[in-house]
């Protein structure tokens, strides 16, 4: 069963239709990429999936259950976690405490401190554990944001441009982290402008342009697709 099933999702801002009958599925243990030019509707689709925006039409299911009418908190309890393009860390708290706040909400709350130590190791952030989050480079801060989402042990993880601001070696380590998260059985949906990373780690890629899915398939299939080359890669 798909972890996430989006069907026929339509959203308008004023008279402007920004999502138009969008379908997307993401399965457990798989990394599903969602790419497209600026303004294509990727973040809006994440808002619909996470319950921050109610679609005018369409349906969202998590593990086969229709959650279209549920709010963000109920969806989070159903195993969904996401990161945002704009960083939302507590700048004065240490990296460890930022992770702890999240871990205390998740299934590991009784052993939150231990879970955070393991998470710091997994993220490669032990050396920054006691630094205030506000002092981090953008790349490291994004990793903490991903760590906060992982701290609740999600079954579905939505990542909105997690690699923005990372340097080459950071992106390589991040690719390995994504693979290990998927290997644990989590369904990962990745919105990312770094097409090299997307093509490297994703099992499947959906391409959104002007609110419509114009292609979906393996990275090799979509990177050969004429409509994708015209709409997206030509734009990059």
Among 25, 43, 171, 223, binds ligand ATP (CB under 6 A): 43
**Does 18 contact ligand ATP by CB under 6 A?**
yes
Rounded to the nearest angstrom, the gap between the alpha carbon of residue 208 and the centroid of all alpha carbons in its chain is 15
Piece in contact with ligand ATP (CB under 6 A), picked from 42-50, 89-97, 115-123, 141-149: 42-50
d(C-alpha 41, C-alpha 60), whole Å? 16
DSSP string across 80-128: EEE--SS----TTSBHHHHHHHHHTTSTTGGGHHHHHHHHHHHHT-GGG
Identify the burial level of 199 via C-beta atoms within 10 angstroms of its C-beta, where 0-12 means exposed, 13-18 middle and 19 or more buried: middle
Pick between residue 17 and residue 153 the one whose CB is nearest to ligand ATP: 17
Among 15, 38, 73, 236, binds ligand ATP (CB under 6 A): 38
Pick between residue 40 and residue 152 the one whose CB is nearest to ligand ATP: 40
Pick between residue 42 and residue 148 the one whose CB is nearest to ligand ATP: 42
Piece in contact with ligand ATP (CB under 6 A), picked from 35-43, 75-83, 124-132, 199-207: 35-43
Pick between residue 18 and residue 81 the one whose CB is nearest to ligand ATP: 18
Q: Which of residues 144-203 bind ligand ATP (CB under 6 A)?
A: none
Pick between residue 38 and residue 226 the one whose CB is nearest to ligand ATP: 38
Q: CB under 8 Å to 106, separation ≥6 — which residues?
A: 112, 115, 151, 152, 153
DSSP letter, residue 233: I
Nearest to 57 by CA among 17, 9, 23, 12: 9
Q: CB under 8 Å to 177, separation ≥6 — which residues?
A: 122, 123, 146
Among 3, 25, 32, 44, binds ligand ATP (CB under 6 A): 44
Among 40, 120, 181, 231, binds ligand ATP (CB under 6 A): 40
Q: Which of residues 48-87 bind ligand ATP (CB under 6 A)?
A: 85
Count residues near ligand ATP (CB under 6 A).
11
Nearest to 192 by CA among 34, 45, 32: 34
Q: Which of residues 83-102 bind ligand ATP (CB under 6 A)?
A: 85
Pick between residue 183 and residue 236 the one whose CB is nearest to ligand ATP: 236
Which residue bears the tokens 């279209």?
Answer: 68
């Amino acid at each position: 069963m798909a972890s996430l099933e989006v069907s026929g999702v339509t959203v308008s801002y004023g008279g402007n239709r920004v999502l138009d009958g969008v379908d997307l599925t993401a399965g457990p243990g798989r990394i599903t990429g969602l790419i497209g030019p600026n303004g294509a509707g990727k973040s809006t689709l994440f808002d619909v999936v996470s319950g921050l925006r109610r679609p005018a039409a369409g349906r969202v299911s998590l593990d086969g259950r229709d959650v279209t009418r549920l709010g963000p908190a109920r969806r989070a309890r159903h195993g969904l976690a996401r990161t945002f393009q704009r960083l939302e860390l507590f700048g004065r708290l240490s990296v460890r405490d930022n992770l702890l706040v999240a871990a205390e909400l998740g299934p590991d709350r009784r052993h939150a401190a231990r879970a955070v130590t393991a998470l710091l190791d997994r993220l490669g952030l032990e050396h920054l554990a006691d630094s205030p989050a506000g002092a981090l480079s953008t790349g490291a801060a994004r990793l903490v944001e991903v760590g906060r989402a992982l701290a609740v042990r999600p079954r579905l993880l939505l990542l909105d441009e997690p690699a923005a601001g990372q340097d080459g070696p950071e992106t390589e380590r991040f690719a390995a982290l994504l693979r290990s998260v998927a290997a644990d059985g989590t369904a990962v949906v990745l919105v990312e402008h770094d097409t090299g990373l997307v093509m490297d780690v994703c099992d499947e890629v959906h391409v959104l342009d002007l609110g419509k899915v114009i292609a979906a398939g393996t990275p090799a299939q979509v990177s050969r697709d004429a409509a994708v080359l015209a709409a997206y890669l030509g734009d990059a």
